[in-house]
Amino acid sequence: MQDLKIALIQTDIVWQNAAENRSRYSEKINNIQEQVDVFVLPEMFTTGFSMHPEGISETMQGKTVAWMKNLASKKNAAICGSVIISEENNYYNRLIFAHPNGKIEYYNKRHLFTLAGEEKVYAAGSKKLIVDYKGWKICPLVCYDLRFPVWSRNKENYDVLLYVANWPKPRIAAWDILLKARSVENLCYTIGVNRVGLDASNYEYNGHSEAYDCLGKKLTNIPSDKEFIEIITLQKEHLNKIRTRLNFLNDQDCFEILD
């Protein structure tokens, strides 16, 4: 049972400047000498949380996806984060998971942030993604999805719940509480990677990127309000032992989500 090393990359984002952001991420990731299995970037990591995708959106054949594929191959590690994608006359807040072998998987954010009018600009996703990677099952979600436990409920027996976010400072207490709750209720590792800094609308982000084990034990010690990278190790044997001894998932309610 292979352990999984995850790099949580908490960083500021240059507003709507994909080339500069890619350059900064390349430098940060290339400076990591330790072998890592997955690098996790924030939500809309090339632009910041923008409601104006015109002129800054990309396609799946664009520069950012190509950059992710190339860097994943070079580092022999997966890279994930969300990007503004244009496809079939729609814009998507799309989490992209780039495997080191060139395979690309993606998840379109389901719960669009109505407080900012995200649902007026972007199309919502309708399907969860479960990534099979190095013997682990990973369920990646995006920011506002964190508030909706029915959608994230562990019906697929995944091992890791992964959130990328632009979660603002005034509501960061909810972020802390909900990440821990998702780990306990789904009996899984839960990881959240959030940005820091100010965006063009003067919204402030203070990080609080963190990870929890399946019992709600915090695994990270990332400082708030600054760029920081922490590498953690997820232990499959630990997860399996807890699930064997405390088989809470066997008792969960059955349900179906109707659109």
CA distance 146 to 150: 10
Active-site positions read 43, 109, 143
Of 189, 186, 190, 199, which Cα lies nearest the Cα of 164?
190
CA distance 64 to 41: 13
CA distance 119 to 114: 6
CA distance 39 to 27: 13
Secondary structure letter of residue 54 according to DSSP: T
Of 100, 21, 92, which Cα lies nearest the Cα of 68?
100
CA distance 118 to 144: 11
Count of alpha carbons within 13 angstroms of residue 80, beta-carbon side: 35
CA distance 166 to 125: 18
Listing DSSP states for 184-200 in one string gives HHHTSEEEEEE-EEE-T
Token look-up 């992710």 returns 68
Edge-to-edge strands of the sheet including 78-87? 104-108, 90-98, 78-87, 38-40, 4-10, 228-234
Token look-up 């890791």 returns 160
